[in-house]
Structure 1
Amino acid sequence: MKILFVCTGNTCRSPMAEEILRDEANKRNRKIEVASAGIFAVDGERASKGARVSMKDRGGLADHRSRFLQDEIMEWADLILVMTGAHKRNLLTRYPNMVDKIFLLYEFATGSDIDVEDPFGGPLEVYEIVRRQLEDAIEKLLDKIDL
């Protein structure tokens, strides 16, 4: 399975989700390919400082470089998980033929329509809240696809 996480700039939420899923899938011996991209990303930017610090025990996103969302990565993915309803509406407008594989992260994992809010520019505590949200959703996601 190939999973793509999408957020706005690909410097906070989606790279955090990518790293958490990769780490948790490895712990479960699951073969999942994972990537991330941003709807408005600038290619090559480092993950935000808050994201790097909050993820230090999972590698700190030291090697992450942002990626602008392009058609090729959308086609590559079996499942595309976005952080907000606005992201989902944006992608469904751009890629209406992919309606069967674009979901809000919490929608796919739990059936709820919870957004993962953007921590960019906020204090470390906000990044840690987002990390816990992502860990919770990804644990449920893995439980769901493990069935």
Structure 2
Amino acid sequence: MAEAILKSKANFEVQSAGIAAMTGQPTNPKAIDTLKANQIDFSGQSQQLDSELVDWADLILTMTNHHKQAITSHFSAGIDKVFTLKEYTSDDADETWQALKATYLKLEEKRASISENSTKEEIEACLSEEIAEIRRLEEKLRDLDIVDPFGQNLEAYQQAYQEINSAIDKLIEKLPE
């Protein structure tokens, strides 16, 4: 749906691809119905993400952090151009990512300084502040996911459409034509 919404609003060269997509499959009928209900005519076929598409893209936007992680783990060449859609359009997401990286670094530094003779309880007590902060930051980043409506009812597709549409409006403001 994101490809269709973006193409309906701006003149960008866009391709949609899935991590586990079966190339050549028709677009989900519920997605097509949702797009039609919002005056967007779209018919397309799925394609699987491959290294050629990753190389072609200037920017790769995913709906979820899970998808982002899957792409960056399989296609290291694209690691610097993969974002969730909401992350890329959010003003504070970069700050959250930087804070998360810094907290992980602090955790690893503390872990390295812990004595081998420390008990499990002592280790947990030493690292508890960083672990709590990591959980808090990761939860904040989860709010940057757009829930995948696949396998759900038409209402779930409409909700996903609204989320994607709103994020794409922000994306268009952010990107040069």
- Same-fold call, TM cutoff 0.5: yes
TM-score (norm 2): 0.67
Residue matched to 2:77:
97
For residue 142 of structure 1, what is the aligned residue in structure 2? Answer: 172
Match of 1:110 in 2: 90
Corresponding position: 1:119 with 2:99: no
Distance of 2:8 and 2:58 partners within structure 1: 19
Q: Deviations over 1:87-109 (max 9, x none)?
A: 11111111223222110110001
- Aligned residue number for residue 5 of structure 2: 20
After superposing on structure 2, the runs of 4+ consecutive aligned residues of structure 1 that deviate more than 3 Å are none
Cα separation, 2, equivalents of 1:70 and 1:97: 11
Which has a greater percent of strand? 1
1:132 maps to 2:162: yes
Structure 2: distance between partners of 1:68 and 1:123: 24
Q: Which moved more, 1:118-127 or 1:104-113?
A: 104-113
State the structure with more CA Rg: 2
Instruction: For residue 84 of structure 1, report the CA deviation from its aligned partner.
Output: 0.7
Rounded Cα–Cα distance in structure 2 between residues aligned with 1:105 and 1:42: 23
User: How many equivalent pairs are there?
Assistant: 125
Distance between the aligned counterparts of 1:35 and 1:74, measured in 2?
Answer: 11
Partner AA of 2:54 in structure 1: M
Distance, in Å, in 1 between the alignment partners of 2:26 and 2:77 is 32
Stretches of structure 1 that go unaligned for 5 or more consecutive residues are: 1-15, 26-30
Unpaired stretches in structure 2, ≥5 consecutive residues: 94-140
> Do residues 54 (structure 1) and 34 (structure 2) align?
yes
**What are the Cα deviations for residues 70-122 of structure 1, in whole angstroms up to 9, with x where unaligned?**
11111100000011111111111112232221101100011443111111121
Q: How far is 1:47 from its partner?
A: 1.1
Choose between structure 1 and 2: higher helix proportion.
Answer: 2
SS of equivalent to 2:80: coil
